[in-house]
Chains A and B, each alone.
Chain A
Amino acid sequence: MEEFIKVENVYFNYMSDEGDEQEPLSYNNVLNNISLNIVKGEFIALLGHNGCGKSTMAKLLNAMLLPTDGKVIVNGIDTSDEQHRYDIRKTVGLVLQNPDNQLVASIVEEDVAFGPENLGIDPKEIRRRVDEALKAVDMYEYRCHAPYKLSGGQKQRVAIAGMIAMEPQCLVLDEPTAMLDPKGRDEVMNTIKRLNKEKGITIVLITHYMDEAVQANRVVVMDSGQILTQGSPHEVFSNVELLKRHRLDVPQATELMYRLRGRGFASERMPLDADECVEMLDSMLKQGKGI
Protein backbone atom coordinates (compact mmCIF):
# COMPACT_ATOMS: atom_id res chain seq x y z
CA MET A 1 0.00 0.00 0.00
CA GLU A 2 1.09 3.50 -0.82
CA GLU A 3 2.59 5.49 2.00
CA PHE A 4 0.78 8.78 2.48
CA ILE A 5 0.94 10.43 5.89
CA LYS A 6 3.53 9.47 8.47
CA VAL A 7 3.52 10.72 12.03
CA GLU A 8 6.90 9.77 13.51
CA ASN A 9 7.65 9.92 17.25
CA VAL A 10 5.83 13.21 17.65
CA TYR A 11 5.81 15.22 20.86
CA PHE A 12 3.76 18.38 21.23
CA ASN A 13 3.23 20.89 24.00
CA TYR A 14 1.44 24.20 23.91
CA MET A 15 3.63 27.08 25.05
CA SER A 16 2.83 28.02 28.59
CA ASP A 17 4.29 30.75 30.76
CA GLU A 18 2.93 29.20 33.92
CA GLY A 19 5.26 26.26 34.34
CA ASP A 20 6.33 25.91 37.96
CA GLU A 21 8.12 23.35 40.08
CA GLN A 22 5.09 21.17 40.76
CA GLU A 23 4.07 21.18 37.13
CA PRO A 24 7.11 21.55 34.92
CA LEU A 25 6.40 22.22 31.27
CA SER A 26 7.37 18.74 30.15
CA TYR A 27 4.40 17.50 32.16
CA ASN A 28 2.10 19.29 29.72
CA ASN A 29 2.97 17.18 26.70
CA VAL A 30 -0.26 17.00 24.74
CA LEU A 31 1.30 14.41 22.44
CA ASN A 32 3.77 11.99 23.87
CA ASN A 33 5.90 10.13 21.35
CA ILE A 34 3.04 9.22 19.04
CA SER A 35 3.50 7.46 15.70
CA LEU A 36 0.84 6.73 13.11
CA ASN A 37 0.89 5.75 9.44
CA ILE A 38 -2.03 6.66 7.24
CA VAL A 39 -2.42 4.90 3.92
CA LYS A 40 -4.09 6.47 0.86
CA GLY A 41 -7.82 5.83 0.69
CA GLU A 42 -8.20 4.80 4.32
CA PHE A 43 -11.09 5.85 6.54
CA ILE A 44 -9.80 6.27 10.07
CA ALA A 45 -11.88 7.13 13.13
CA LEU A 46 -9.89 8.81 15.88
CA LEU A 47 -11.39 8.40 19.36
CA GLY A 48 -10.41 9.55 22.81
CA HIS A 49 -11.73 11.50 25.77
CA ASN A 50 -11.68 15.33 25.93
CA GLY A 51 -8.11 16.50 26.30
CA CYS A 52 -6.44 13.32 25.01
CA GLY A 53 -4.76 15.17 22.13
CA LYS A 54 -7.04 14.30 19.20
CA SER A 55 -7.58 17.85 17.99
CA THR A 56 -3.87 18.64 18.30
CA MET A 57 -3.17 15.58 16.18
CA ALA A 58 -5.66 16.83 13.56
CA LYS A 59 -3.94 20.21 13.35
CA LEU A 60 -0.53 18.59 12.98
CA LEU A 61 -1.67 16.70 9.90
CA ASN A 62 -2.00 19.84 7.77
CA ALA A 63 0.73 21.98 9.33
CA MET A 64 -1.65 24.20 11.32
CA LEU A 65 0.63 23.14 14.18
CA LEU A 66 4.17 21.82 14.01
CA PRO A 67 5.55 19.07 16.26
CA THR A 68 7.68 20.17 19.23
CA ASP A 69 9.75 17.10 18.48
CA GLY A 70 9.44 14.37 15.87
CA LYS A 71 8.17 14.60 12.31
CA VAL A 72 4.98 14.65 10.30
CA ILE A 73 5.51 13.70 6.65
CA VAL A 74 2.75 14.25 4.08
CA ASN A 75 3.37 12.83 0.60
CA GLY A 76 7.08 12.82 1.35
CA ILE A 77 7.13 16.47 2.50
CA ASP A 78 8.02 17.37 6.08
CA THR A 79 5.29 19.70 7.44
CA SER A 80 7.96 21.89 9.02
CA ASP A 81 9.25 22.76 5.53
CA GLU A 82 7.89 26.30 5.17
CA GLN A 83 8.36 26.42 1.41
CA HIS A 84 5.91 23.61 0.84
CA ARG A 85 3.32 24.56 3.44
CA TYR A 86 0.68 25.44 0.83
CA ASP A 87 1.20 22.08 -0.85
CA ILE A 88 0.47 20.38 2.43
CA ARG A 89 -2.64 22.48 3.09
CA LYS A 90 -3.85 21.65 -0.43
CA THR A 91 -3.29 17.97 0.22
CA VAL A 92 -4.89 17.77 3.65
CA GLY A 93 -8.08 19.75 4.33
CA LEU A 94 -9.39 20.39 7.84
CA VAL A 95 -13.10 20.61 8.75
CA LEU A 96 -14.03 21.82 12.24
CA GLN A 97 -16.92 21.36 14.64
CA ASN A 98 -18.87 24.57 14.20
CA PRO A 99 -19.95 25.24 10.60
CA ASP A 100 -20.69 28.88 11.42
CA ASN A 101 -17.00 29.50 12.11
CA GLN A 102 -15.96 28.14 8.73
CA LEU A 103 -18.21 29.91 6.27
CA VAL A 104 -16.95 33.29 5.06
CA ALA A 105 -19.05 34.44 2.10
CA SER A 106 -22.70 35.48 1.82
CA ILE A 107 -23.49 33.12 -1.07
CA VAL A 108 -22.87 29.36 -0.95
CA GLU A 109 -20.93 29.10 -4.21
CA GLU A 110 -18.74 32.10 -3.35
CA ASP A 111 -17.90 30.43 -0.10
CA VAL A 112 -16.85 27.23 -1.83
CA ALA A 113 -14.76 29.28 -4.31
CA PHE A 114 -12.84 31.03 -1.52
CA GLY A 115 -10.16 28.35 -1.18
CA PRO A 116 -9.38 27.81 -4.88
CA GLU A 117 -9.37 31.61 -5.42
CA ASN A 118 -6.65 31.92 -2.82
CA LEU A 119 -4.66 29.24 -4.55
CA GLY A 120 -4.68 31.50 -7.66
CA ILE A 121 -6.49 29.03 -9.85
CA ASP A 122 -7.91 30.02 -13.25
CA PRO A 123 -11.56 31.29 -12.96
CA LYS A 124 -12.86 28.68 -15.42
CA GLU A 125 -11.24 25.92 -13.40
CA ILE A 126 -12.68 27.45 -10.20
CA ARG A 127 -16.17 27.33 -11.71
CA ARG A 128 -15.71 23.65 -12.58
CA ARG A 129 -14.35 22.77 -9.14
CA VAL A 130 -17.10 24.66 -7.28
CA ASP A 131 -19.84 22.92 -9.25
CA GLU A 132 -18.23 19.54 -8.79
CA ALA A 133 -17.62 20.05 -5.07
CA LEU A 134 -21.20 21.16 -4.44
CA LYS A 135 -22.50 18.15 -6.38
CA ALA A 136 -20.23 15.86 -4.36
CA VAL A 137 -21.85 16.98 -1.09
CA ASP A 138 -25.31 17.13 -2.66
CA MET A 139 -25.70 20.89 -2.20
CA TYR A 140 -25.58 21.99 -5.86
CA GLU A 141 -29.18 23.20 -5.91
CA TYR A 142 -28.39 25.52 -2.99
CA ARG A 143 -25.43 27.17 -4.76
CA CYS A 144 -27.09 30.62 -4.87
CA HIS A 145 -28.51 30.50 -1.33
CA ALA A 146 -27.25 32.43 1.68
CA PRO A 147 -25.35 30.12 4.09
CA TYR A 148 -27.02 31.56 7.20
CA LYS A 149 -30.39 30.30 6.01
CA LEU A 150 -29.23 26.68 5.73
CA SER A 151 -29.65 24.00 8.40
CA GLY A 152 -26.62 22.90 10.43
CA GLY A 153 -26.11 19.74 8.35
CA GLN A 154 -26.33 21.73 5.13
CA LYS A 155 -23.84 24.33 6.38
CA GLN A 156 -21.41 21.63 7.41
CA ARG A 157 -21.70 20.06 3.94
CA VAL A 158 -20.94 23.46 2.37
CA ALA A 159 -17.86 23.68 4.60
CA ILE A 160 -16.80 20.24 3.35
CA ALA A 161 -17.43 21.37 -0.26
CA GLY A 162 -15.11 24.31 0.38
CA MET A 163 -12.40 21.79 1.20
CA ILE A 164 -13.24 19.47 -1.71
CA ALA A 165 -12.86 22.42 -4.13
CA MET A 166 -9.18 22.53 -3.15
CA GLU A 167 -9.04 18.91 -4.40
CA PRO A 168 -7.37 17.51 -1.29
CA GLN A 169 -6.27 13.90 -1.04
CA CYS A 170 -7.20 13.76 2.61
CA LEU A 171 -9.92 15.30 4.76
CA VAL A 172 -9.45 15.60 8.51
CA LEU A 173 -12.78 16.26 10.27
CA ASP A 174 -12.77 17.30 13.93
CA GLU A 175 -16.16 16.39 15.44
CA PRO A 176 -18.04 17.61 12.36
CA THR A 177 -21.43 16.37 13.64
CA ALA A 178 -21.27 17.50 17.29
CA MET A 179 -23.66 20.41 16.76
CA LEU A 180 -26.05 18.73 14.35
CA ASP A 181 -29.47 17.13 14.73
CA PRO A 182 -29.88 13.41 13.89
CA LYS A 183 -30.76 14.02 10.24
CA GLY A 184 -27.88 16.48 9.81
CA ARG A 185 -25.51 13.90 11.30
CA ASP A 186 -26.68 11.25 8.82
CA GLU A 187 -26.27 13.69 5.91
CA VAL A 188 -22.71 14.52 6.87
CA MET A 189 -21.74 10.89 7.56
CA ASN A 190 -23.18 9.76 4.21
CA THR A 191 -21.25 12.53 2.46
CA ILE A 192 -17.99 11.53 4.16
CA LYS A 193 -18.44 7.86 3.27
CA ARG A 194 -19.26 8.71 -0.34
CA LEU A 195 -16.21 10.95 -0.74
CA ASN A 196 -14.09 8.13 0.63
CA LYS A 197 -15.58 5.42 -1.60
CA GLU A 198 -16.16 7.32 -4.84
CA LYS A 199 -13.36 9.86 -4.87
CA GLY A 200 -10.87 7.81 -2.88
CA ILE A 201 -10.30 10.68 -0.45
CA THR A 202 -8.55 9.58 2.72
CA ILE A 203 -10.66 10.35 5.80
CA VAL A 204 -9.58 11.01 9.37
CA LEU A 205 -12.74 11.45 11.44
CA ILE A 206 -12.57 12.60 15.06
CA THR A 207 -15.79 11.83 16.88
CA HIS A 208 -17.43 11.13 20.23
CA TYR A 209 -20.23 9.19 18.55
CA MET A 210 -19.45 5.49 18.58
CA ASP A 211 -22.09 4.72 15.94
CA GLU A 212 -20.07 6.92 13.57
CA ALA A 213 -16.74 5.36 14.49
CA VAL A 214 -17.94 1.84 13.63
CA GLN A 215 -18.32 2.94 10.01
CA ALA A 216 -14.55 3.46 9.56
CA ASN A 217 -12.00 0.90 8.27
CA ARG A 218 -9.69 1.50 11.19
CA VAL A 219 -10.35 2.84 14.67
CA VAL A 220 -7.50 4.53 16.53
CA VAL A 221 -8.04 5.21 20.25
CA MET A 222 -5.89 7.89 21.88
CA ASP A 223 -5.22 8.51 25.54
CA SER A 224 -2.77 10.92 27.22
CA GLY A 225 -1.19 11.86 23.91
CA GLN A 226 -0.47 8.29 22.90
CA ILE A 227 -2.20 5.55 20.96
CA LEU A 228 -3.98 3.27 23.40
CA THR A 229 -5.20 0.72 20.92
CA GLN A 230 -6.11 0.45 17.24
CA GLY A 231 -7.60 -2.02 14.80
CA SER A 232 -10.76 -2.78 12.86
CA PRO A 233 -13.99 -1.56 14.48
CA HIS A 234 -14.77 -5.16 15.51
CA GLU A 235 -11.38 -5.59 17.16
CA VAL A 236 -11.51 -2.30 19.04
CA PHE A 237 -15.14 -2.36 20.17
CA SER A 238 -14.91 -5.96 21.39
CA ASN A 239 -12.74 -4.61 24.17
CA VAL A 240 -15.60 -3.01 26.07
CA GLU A 241 -13.83 -2.81 29.45
CA LEU A 242 -10.76 -1.06 28.06
CA LEU A 243 -12.85 1.61 26.31
CA LYS A 244 -14.98 2.29 29.37
CA ARG A 245 -11.91 2.59 31.55
CA HIS A 246 -10.73 5.36 29.26
CA ARG A 247 -13.92 7.45 29.39
CA LEU A 248 -15.22 6.07 26.11
CA ASP A 249 -18.27 4.12 25.18
CA VAL A 250 -19.45 1.42 22.80
CA PRO A 251 -22.54 1.46 20.56
CA GLN A 252 -25.72 0.33 22.34
CA ALA A 253 -25.81 -2.77 20.11
CA THR A 254 -22.39 -3.80 21.44
CA GLU A 255 -23.31 -2.88 25.01
CA LEU A 256 -26.41 -5.08 24.87
CA MET A 257 -24.47 -8.15 23.74
CA TYR A 258 -21.76 -7.39 26.31
CA ARG A 259 -24.33 -7.38 29.11
CA LEU A 260 -25.99 -10.58 27.87
CA ARG A 261 -22.57 -12.21 27.78
CA GLY A 262 -22.11 -11.10 31.40
CA ARG A 263 -25.31 -12.94 32.22
CA GLY A 264 -23.98 -16.16 30.73
CA PHE A 265 -25.33 -16.05 27.18
CA ALA A 266 -22.50 -16.77 24.77
CA SER A 267 -22.15 -14.89 21.51
CA GLU A 268 -19.36 -15.58 19.04
CA ARG A 269 -18.54 -11.88 18.58
CA MET A 270 -19.65 -8.34 19.35
CA PRO A 271 -22.12 -6.65 17.01
CA LEU A 272 -21.47 -3.05 15.95
CA ASP A 273 -24.84 -1.88 14.66
CA ALA A 274 -28.56 -2.56 15.00
CA ASP A 275 -28.83 -4.92 11.99
CA GLU A 276 -25.93 -7.11 13.04
CA CYS A 277 -27.22 -7.23 16.62
CA VAL A 278 -30.71 -8.23 15.55
CA GLU A 279 -29.35 -11.05 13.35
CA MET A 280 -27.25 -12.40 16.21
CA LEU A 281 -30.07 -12.22 18.75
CA ASP A 282 -32.47 -13.80 16.28
CA SER A 283 -30.19 -16.80 15.83
CA MET A 284 -29.53 -17.06 19.58
CA LEU A 285 -33.26 -17.09 20.26
CA LYS A 286 -33.98 -19.59 17.47
CA GLN A 287 -31.24 -22.00 18.53
CA GLY A 288 -32.82 -22.18 21.95
CA LYS A 289 -36.20 -22.98 20.48
CA GLY A 290 -34.63 -25.91 18.67
CA ILE A 291 -35.54 -24.67 15.20
Chain B
Amino acid sequence: MNVIETEDLSFVYGKGTPFEKVANDKLNIQIKQGEFIGIIGHTGSGKSTLVQMLNGLIKPTSGVVRLNGVDIWQVPKEIRKVRFNVGLVFQYPEYQLFEETVAKDIAFGPKNMGLDDEEIKRRINTSARFTGLKPELLSKSPFDLSGGEKRRAAIAGVIAMDPDVLILDEPTAGLDPAGRDVLLAQISQYHKERKNTVLLVSHSMEDIAKIADRILVMNNGRAAMFDETQKIFSRGDELEKMGLRVPQITKIMSMLRDRGYSLPSGVLTVEQAANELQVLLDKQ
Protein backbone atom coordinates (compact mmCIF):
# COMPACT_ATOMS: atom_id res chain seq x y z
CA MET B 1 0.00 0.00 0.00
CA ASN B 2 1.38 3.41 -0.97
CA VAL B 3 1.05 5.86 1.87
CA ILE B 4 2.16 8.70 -0.39
CA GLU B 5 1.82 8.89 -4.12
CA THR B 6 2.34 11.84 -6.43
CA GLU B 7 1.16 12.17 -9.99
CA ASP B 8 2.79 14.70 -12.34
CA LEU B 9 3.27 16.88 -9.28
CA SER B 10 4.58 20.34 -10.24
CA PHE B 11 5.14 23.62 -8.49
CA VAL B 12 6.04 26.92 -10.11
CA TYR B 13 7.08 29.94 -8.05
CA GLY B 14 5.94 33.34 -9.39
CA LYS B 15 3.92 31.87 -12.24
CA GLY B 16 3.18 34.43 -14.94
CA THR B 17 5.82 36.86 -13.65
CA PRO B 18 9.30 37.52 -15.05
CA PHE B 19 10.68 35.61 -12.02
CA GLU B 20 8.89 32.37 -12.85
CA LYS B 21 10.78 29.36 -11.53
CA VAL B 22 9.83 25.71 -11.86
CA ALA B 23 10.73 24.15 -8.50
CA ASN B 24 9.13 20.74 -9.00
CA ASP B 25 8.62 19.33 -12.46
CA LYS B 26 6.14 16.45 -12.92
CA LEU B 27 7.18 14.25 -10.03
CA ASN B 28 5.80 10.73 -9.94
CA ILE B 29 6.79 9.14 -6.66
CA GLN B 30 5.41 6.22 -4.69
CA ILE B 31 6.29 5.65 -1.04
CA LYS B 32 5.11 2.55 0.76
CA GLN B 33 3.78 2.45 4.30
CA GLY B 34 6.65 1.88 6.75
CA GLU B 35 9.53 2.88 4.48
CA PHE B 36 12.47 5.02 5.58
CA ILE B 37 13.23 7.36 2.69
CA GLY B 38 16.28 9.63 2.37
CA ILE B 39 15.97 12.74 0.18
CA ILE B 40 19.17 14.30 -1.18
CA GLY B 41 19.85 17.00 -3.75
CA HIS B 42 21.79 20.25 -4.18
CA THR B 43 20.53 23.56 -2.76
CA GLY B 44 17.62 24.67 -4.92
CA SER B 45 16.95 21.18 -6.32
CA GLY B 46 13.36 21.28 -5.06
CA LYS B 47 13.53 19.16 -1.87
CA SER B 48 11.84 21.69 0.41
CA THR B 49 9.12 22.54 -2.10
CA LEU B 50 8.34 18.84 -2.42
CA VAL B 51 8.05 18.16 1.31
CA GLN B 52 5.90 21.25 1.79
CA MET B 53 3.52 19.97 -0.89
CA LEU B 54 3.42 16.54 0.74
CA ASN B 55 1.94 17.96 3.93
CA GLY B 56 -0.30 20.48 2.22
CA LEU B 57 1.56 23.63 3.27
CA ILE B 58 1.65 24.73 -0.35
CA LYS B 59 -0.77 23.76 -3.08
CA PRO B 60 0.57 22.16 -6.27
CA THR B 61 0.51 24.30 -9.43
CA SER B 62 -0.56 21.12 -11.17
CA GLY B 63 -0.65 17.42 -10.39
CA VAL B 64 -1.84 15.46 -7.38
CA VAL B 65 -0.58 14.34 -3.96
CA ARG B 66 -2.37 11.27 -2.60
CA LEU B 67 -2.23 10.33 1.05
CA ASN B 68 -3.44 6.76 1.61
CA GLY B 69 -5.01 6.86 -1.84
CA VAL B 70 -6.93 10.12 -1.41
CA ASP B 71 -6.09 13.44 -3.12
CA ILE B 72 -5.15 15.71 -0.18
CA TRP B 73 -6.73 18.75 -1.86
CA GLN B 74 -10.02 16.97 -2.62
CA VAL B 75 -11.70 18.90 0.19
CA PRO B 76 -9.51 22.00 0.70
CA LYS B 77 -11.17 22.78 4.04
CA GLU B 78 -9.94 19.48 5.45
CA ILE B 79 -6.27 20.21 4.70
CA ARG B 80 -5.52 20.68 8.41
CA LYS B 81 -6.11 16.95 8.92
CA VAL B 82 -3.42 16.23 6.36
CA ARG B 83 -1.00 18.42 8.29
CA PHE B 84 -1.69 16.42 11.45
CA ASN B 85 -1.13 13.21 9.53
CA VAL B 86 2.03 14.26 7.72
CA GLY B 87 4.26 15.85 10.36
CA LEU B 88 6.93 18.21 9.05
CA VAL B 89 9.96 19.20 11.12
CA PHE B 90 11.63 22.19 9.49
CA GLN B 91 15.33 23.03 9.42
CA TYR B 92 16.53 24.54 12.70
CA PRO B 93 13.14 23.82 14.35
CA GLU B 94 14.44 25.12 17.70
CA TYR B 95 13.64 28.65 16.48
CA GLN B 96 9.96 27.74 16.44
CA LEU B 97 9.60 27.01 20.14
CA PHE B 98 7.37 29.61 21.75
CA GLU B 99 5.49 28.28 24.80
CA GLU B 100 6.14 28.88 28.51
CA THR B 101 7.21 25.32 29.16
CA VAL B 102 8.52 22.45 27.08
CA ALA B 103 5.44 20.36 27.93
CA LYS B 104 3.08 23.11 26.72
CA ASP B 105 5.10 23.49 23.55
CA ILE B 106 4.87 19.77 22.80
CA ALA B 107 1.14 19.87 23.62
CA PHE B 108 0.41 22.59 21.06
CA GLY B 109 -0.15 20.19 18.13
CA PRO B 110 -2.25 17.60 20.02
CA LYS B 111 -4.35 20.40 21.54
CA ASN B 112 -5.17 21.75 18.10
CA MET B 113 -6.21 18.26 17.11
CA GLY B 114 -8.87 18.50 19.82
CA LEU B 115 -7.55 15.62 21.95
CA ASP B 116 -8.53 15.31 25.60
CA ASP B 117 -6.14 16.22 28.41
CA GLU B 118 -5.28 12.68 29.37
CA GLU B 119 -4.38 11.72 25.82
CA ILE B 120 -2.33 14.90 25.45
CA LYS B 121 -0.42 14.05 28.61
CA ARG B 122 0.25 10.55 27.36
CA ARG B 123 1.51 11.94 24.04
CA ILE B 124 3.83 14.44 25.72
CA ASN B 125 5.44 11.60 27.65
CA THR B 126 5.77 9.23 24.69
CA SER B 127 7.24 11.84 22.39
CA ALA B 128 9.65 13.04 25.07
CA ARG B 129 10.80 9.45 25.51
CA PHE B 130 11.26 8.94 21.75
CA THR B 131 13.40 12.05 21.45
CA GLY B 132 15.38 11.41 24.63
CA LEU B 133 14.14 14.48 26.52
CA LYS B 134 14.58 13.99 30.24
CA PRO B 135 11.26 14.26 32.16
CA GLU B 136 12.61 17.04 34.40
CA LEU B 137 13.06 19.26 31.33
CA LEU B 138 9.32 19.24 30.57
CA SER B 139 8.49 21.88 33.17
CA LYS B 140 11.36 24.17 32.11
CA SER B 141 11.12 27.08 29.69
CA PRO B 142 12.22 25.92 26.23
CA PHE B 143 14.59 28.90 26.15
CA ASP B 144 16.58 27.50 29.08
CA LEU B 145 17.48 24.34 27.19
CA SER B 146 20.72 23.71 25.32
CA GLY B 147 20.69 23.81 21.51
CA GLY B 148 20.48 20.03 21.19
CA GLU B 149 17.69 19.77 23.77
CA LYS B 150 15.72 22.54 22.05
CA ARG B 151 15.90 20.65 18.82
CA ARG B 152 14.64 17.48 20.52
CA ALA B 153 11.76 19.43 22.06
CA ALA B 154 10.76 20.78 18.65
CA ILE B 155 10.86 17.32 17.08
CA ALA B 156 8.84 15.95 20.03
CA GLY B 157 6.15 18.55 19.27
CA VAL B 158 5.64 17.05 15.82
CA ILE B 159 5.91 13.43 16.95
CA ALA B 160 3.20 14.19 19.57
CA MET B 161 0.67 14.52 16.76
CA ASP B 162 1.44 10.86 16.03
CA PRO B 163 1.65 11.36 12.26
CA ASP B 164 1.56 8.45 9.82
CA VAL B 165 4.31 10.17 7.89
CA LEU B 166 7.13 12.07 9.60
CA ILE B 167 9.25 14.39 7.45
CA LEU B 168 12.48 15.83 8.87
CA ASP B 169 14.40 18.54 7.01
CA GLU B 170 18.10 18.44 7.99
CA PRO B 171 17.47 17.42 11.62
CA THR B 172 21.18 17.06 12.44
CA ALA B 173 22.54 20.30 10.90
CA GLY B 174 24.85 22.08 13.34
CA LEU B 175 24.94 19.25 15.91
CA ASP B 176 28.30 17.82 17.01
CA PRO B 177 29.16 14.28 15.84
CA ALA B 178 27.94 12.55 19.00
CA GLY B 179 24.72 14.60 19.12
CA ARG B 180 24.13 13.77 15.49
CA ASP B 181 24.60 10.02 16.00
CA VAL B 182 22.32 9.92 19.04
CA LEU B 183 19.53 11.86 17.32
CA LEU B 184 19.73 9.63 14.24
CA ALA B 185 19.59 6.51 16.43
CA GLN B 186 16.50 7.91 18.18
CA ILE B 187 14.75 8.67 14.90
CA SER B 188 15.58 5.16 13.73
CA GLN B 189 14.28 3.64 16.98
CA TYR B 190 11.07 5.69 16.71
CA HIS B 191 10.62 4.46 13.15
CA LYS B 192 11.06 0.83 14.24
CA GLU B 193 8.67 1.05 17.19
CA ARG B 194 6.01 3.21 15.61
CA LYS B 195 6.35 1.43 12.21
CA ASN B 196 5.38 4.61 10.37
CA THR B 197 6.89 6.22 7.30
CA VAL B 198 9.83 8.59 7.70
CA LEU B 199 11.28 10.97 5.11
CA LEU B 200 14.66 12.46 5.98
CA VAL B 201 16.14 15.36 3.99
CA SER B 202 19.90 15.70 4.49
CA HIS B 203 23.12 17.00 2.99
CA SER B 204 25.06 14.37 4.91
CA MET B 205 25.54 11.37 2.66
CA GLU B 206 27.04 9.44 5.60
CA ASP B 207 23.86 9.86 7.67
CA ILE B 208 21.55 8.91 4.81
CA ALA B 209 23.69 5.86 3.99
CA LYS B 210 23.40 4.60 7.57
CA ILE B 211 19.66 4.95 7.94
CA ALA B 212 17.59 5.03 4.70
CA ASP B 213 15.97 2.07 2.91
CA ARG B 214 15.57 4.01 -0.30
CA ILE B 215 16.86 7.36 -1.55
CA LEU B 216 15.14 9.99 -3.67
CA VAL B 217 17.69 12.10 -5.53
CA MET B 218 16.35 15.50 -6.59
CA ASN B 219 18.08 17.45 -9.35
CA ASN B 220 16.81 20.69 -10.90
CA GLY B 221 13.26 20.05 -9.76
CA ARG B 222 13.08 16.49 -11.06
CA ALA B 223 13.35 13.11 -9.42
CA ALA B 224 16.68 12.09 -10.95
CA MET B 225 16.85 8.72 -9.14
CA PHE B 226 14.68 6.83 -6.68
CA ASP B 227 16.10 3.49 -5.64
CA GLU B 228 17.55 1.37 -2.84
CA THR B 229 20.28 3.12 -0.88
CA GLN B 230 23.03 0.72 -1.91
CA LYS B 231 22.13 1.07 -5.60
CA ILE B 232 22.07 4.87 -5.41
CA PHE B 233 25.53 5.05 -3.85
CA SER B 234 26.88 2.67 -6.51
CA ARG B 235 26.34 5.53 -8.96
CA GLY B 236 28.99 7.87 -7.59
CA ASP B 237 29.90 9.51 -10.90
CA GLU B 238 26.32 10.53 -11.65
CA LEU B 239 25.84 11.87 -8.11
CA GLU B 240 29.04 13.90 -8.46
CA LYS B 241 27.67 15.56 -11.61
CA MET B 242 24.61 16.64 -9.61
CA GLY B 243 26.78 18.31 -6.98
CA LEU B 244 26.40 15.36 -4.59
CA ARG B 245 28.91 12.90 -3.19
CA VAL B 246 29.03 9.34 -1.92
CA PRO B 247 30.09 8.66 1.70
CA GLN B 248 33.89 8.54 2.10
CA ILE B 249 33.74 4.82 2.97
CA THR B 250 31.80 4.06 -0.23
CA LYS B 251 34.44 5.95 -2.19
CA ILE B 252 37.32 4.07 -0.56
CA MET B 253 35.75 0.72 -1.39
CA SER B 254 34.97 1.67 -4.97
CA MET B 255 38.57 2.91 -5.47
CA LEU B 256 39.83 -0.48 -4.26
CA ARG B 257 37.38 -2.16 -6.62
CA ASP B 258 38.84 -0.13 -9.48
CA ARG B 259 42.24 -1.56 -8.55
CA GLY B 260 40.91 -5.04 -9.15
CA TYR B 261 39.98 -6.24 -5.67
CA SER B 262 36.77 -8.23 -5.49
CA LEU B 263 34.66 -6.03 -3.26
CA PRO B 264 30.97 -5.18 -3.57
CA SER B 265 29.86 -1.78 -4.86
CA GLY B 266 27.79 0.64 -2.82
CA VAL B 267 29.28 -0.25 0.59
CA LEU B 268 27.47 2.02 3.06
CA THR B 269 29.03 1.72 6.49
CA VAL B 270 32.51 1.42 7.99
CA GLU B 271 31.45 -1.80 9.73
CA GLN B 272 30.42 -3.38 6.44
CA ALA B 273 33.67 -2.26 4.79
CA ALA B 274 35.75 -3.67 7.65
CA ASN B 275 33.93 -7.01 7.30
CA GLU B 276 34.54 -7.18 3.56
CA LEU B 277 38.21 -6.26 3.93
CA GLN B 278 38.70 -8.77 6.71
CA VAL B 279 37.58 -11.54 4.36
CA LEU B 280 40.19 -10.47 1.80
CA LEU B 281 42.95 -10.01 4.38
CA ASP B 282 42.19 -13.36 6.03
CA LYS B 283 42.57 -15.16 2.71
CA GLN B 284 46.25 -14.26 2.63
Given A210-B177, A248-B178, A50 and B248 touching (CB < 8 A)?
no
Contact of B42 among A51, A151, A263 (CB under 8 A): A151
Which 9 A-B residue pairings sit nearest by Cβ, starting from the closest?
A288-B284, A247-B178, A183-B243, A249-B177, A252-B248, A49-B176, A252-B249, A259-B274, A182-B245
B135 at the interface (CB under 8 A from A): no
Given A152-B43, A256-B273, A211 and B248 touching (CB < 8 A)?
yes
B224 at the interface (CB under 8 A from A): no
Q: Can you name 29 A-B pairs with beta carbons within 8 Å?
A: A48-B176, A50-B146, A50-B148, A51-B147, A151-B42, A153-B43, A179-B173, A179-B174, A182-B244, A184-B42, A208-B176, A208-B177, A248-B177, A249-B177, A253-B252, A256-B252, A256-B274, A256-B277, A259-B274, A260-B281, A265-B278, A274-B251, A274-B252, A278-B255, A278-B256, A278-B259, A281-B252, A285-B256, A285-B261
Among residues 244 to 291 in chain A, which have CB atoms less than 8 Å away from a CB atom of chain B? 247-249, 251-253, 255-256, 259-260, 263, 265, 273-275, 277-278, 281-282, 284-285, 287-289
B221 at the interface (CB under 8 A from A): no
Inter-chain CA distance A140–B252, complex, in Å, is 35
Main SS at interface, chain B: helix
Inter-chain CA distance A256–B173, complex, in Å, is 24
Report chain B residues within 8 Å CB of A251: 248
Report chain B residues within 8 Å CB of A255: 249, 270
Given A263-B278, A274-B248, A274-B251, A175 and B270 touching (CB < 8 A)?
no
Having A50-B179, A181-B244, one finds 13 other A-B pairs with CB under 8 Å, namely A48-B176, A49-B176, A50-B146, A51-B147, A178-B174, A179-B173, A184-B43, A208-B177, A247-B176, A252-B248, A256-B270, A259-B270, A285-B281
Interface residues of A (CB under 8 A from B): 48-51, 97, 151-153, 175, 178-185, 208, 210-211, 247-249, 251-253, 255-256, 259-260, 263, 265, 273-275, 277-278, 281-282, 284-285, 287-289
1/0 per residue, CB under 8 A from A, across B166-184: the answer is 0000000111111110000
B193 at the interface (CB under 8 A from A): no
Is B251 a contact of A178 with CB atoms below 8 Å? no
- Most A-side CB within 10 Å, residue of B247, B274, B278: B274
Inter-chain CA distance A249–B175, complex, in Å, is 12
Is A178 a contact of B274 with CB atoms below 8 Å? no
Q: Smallest CB-CB separation from B245: which chain A residue?
A: A182
1/0 per residue, CB under 8 A from A, across B19-53: the answer is 00000000000000000000001111000000000
Taking the closest CB of chain B, its distance from the CB of A55, in whole angstroms, is 11
B82 at the interface (CB under 8 A from A): no
Is B271 a contact of A259 with CB atoms below 8 Å? yes
Taking the closest CB of chain A, its distance from the CB of B272, in whole angstroms, is 10
Inter-chain CA distance A179–B281, complex, in Å, is 40
Q: Smallest CB-CB separation from A50: which chain B residue?
A: B176
Given A247-B177, A247-B179, A274-B248, A284 and B43 touching (CB < 8 A)?
no
Inter-chain CA distance A182–B40, complex, in Å, is 10
Given A182-B205, A247-B179, A263-B274, A151 and B252 touching (CB < 8 A)?
no
Taking the closest CB of chain A, its distance from the CB of B230, in whole angstroms, is 16
Is B284 a contact of A289 with CB atoms below 8 Å? yes
